[in-house]
Copies of this chain bind each other. A is one copy, B any other.
Amino acid sequence: MTQKIIDKQQVSNILDQYDYFIFDCDGVIWLGDHILPSVVETIDLLKKRGKKVIFVTNNSSKSRNDYLQKFNKIGIQGITKDEVFGSSYASAVYINKIMKLPTDKKVWVLGESGIEQELHDLGYETLGGTDPSLSAEGAGASDDHPLLKNLDDSVGAVVTGLTSKLNYLKLCITLQYLLKDNKSVPFIATNIDSTFPSHGKLLIGAGSIIQAVSYASGRTPDAICGKPNQSMMNTIKAENPDLQKTPSRGLMVGDRLNTDIQFGLQGGLDTLLVLTGIETENSVQSVDMTAAPTYYADKLGDLYELLDHN
């Protein structure tokens, strides 16, 4: 039975019970460019108590460096690179550590600069991505674009994620690499969220773009690096050996049952659902017991406010 966080004692127990606090960002820490109430104070409180805070996001458009800038801009100071895990970083780590792709191989990117930067940081050259020659007006229609005609034999992986600069040409070249060498080039998805919430609308998510090249090639991704898939959790654990040993000392905080809470549950962590994003009190009541969070709260900032700070 999911417990609602409503008093100081519950917060004290949580502070005693967990060493690692892993946060989804959008809908938990911020909504678009607006930070949610008492979040700065909550993060500060946790850090003062010696807790390890980690931020995870499925949005692959930004690199970890981009996210550090966003944290600063939004008013959360002092976050370091090792505290941020995006699906772009998780994808680059997957290619480097799990696939062990030699760095003289290139990576074809259907996505934005976040993926490119993380791959460059690990020593890979990328093709596609933000290459302006692929975005020029009219390029979408051209079936004799040099990049479509002449595939690069040194491409050793294809990474697919969200891009608002999507066009037909980029999809078609991605398809060529997925079909190449009897479909043997590894196919990595940053995440498979079907939609991308923005300004109160649901836009096309990474997963829907990936569906297009997946259906065309007759392939499903060899790895999905975003939540709830455990690739990203395994990366976090690999860099935090104490969490690896005792996942129950970790609390995953998120606003979506089917990604964030699943991500925590599958990783063996306890979970806290906040109602500042996608889910409502109603969804907590109706969720299947096996998928229910350990706790829920109206907002993340309640941890700070309930601890006698309001």
Contact = CB atoms under 8 A, between A and B. Distances in A.
Interface string A15-43: 00000000000000000000000000000
Given A166-B166, A168-B164, A208 B213 contact: yes
A244 interface: no
A152 to B, nearest CB: 16
Contacts of A163: 168
A96 interface: no
Contacts of A148: 201
Give the number of copies in the complex: 2
A211 to B, nearest CB: 4
A194 B217 CA distance: 8
Nearest to A176: B201
Contacts of A168: 163-167, 203-204
A205 interface: yes
Interface residues of A, number: 38
Contact of A140 (B164, B205, B211): B164
Nearest to A141: B164
Contacts of A137: 135-137
A198 to B, nearest CB: 5
A102 interface: no
Contacts of A172: 201, 203-204
Interface string A168-200: 100110011001000000000000001100110
A289 interface: no
Given A140-B166, A148-B201, A194 B207 contact: no
Contact of A167 (B140, B143, B198): B140
A76 to B, nearest CB: 25
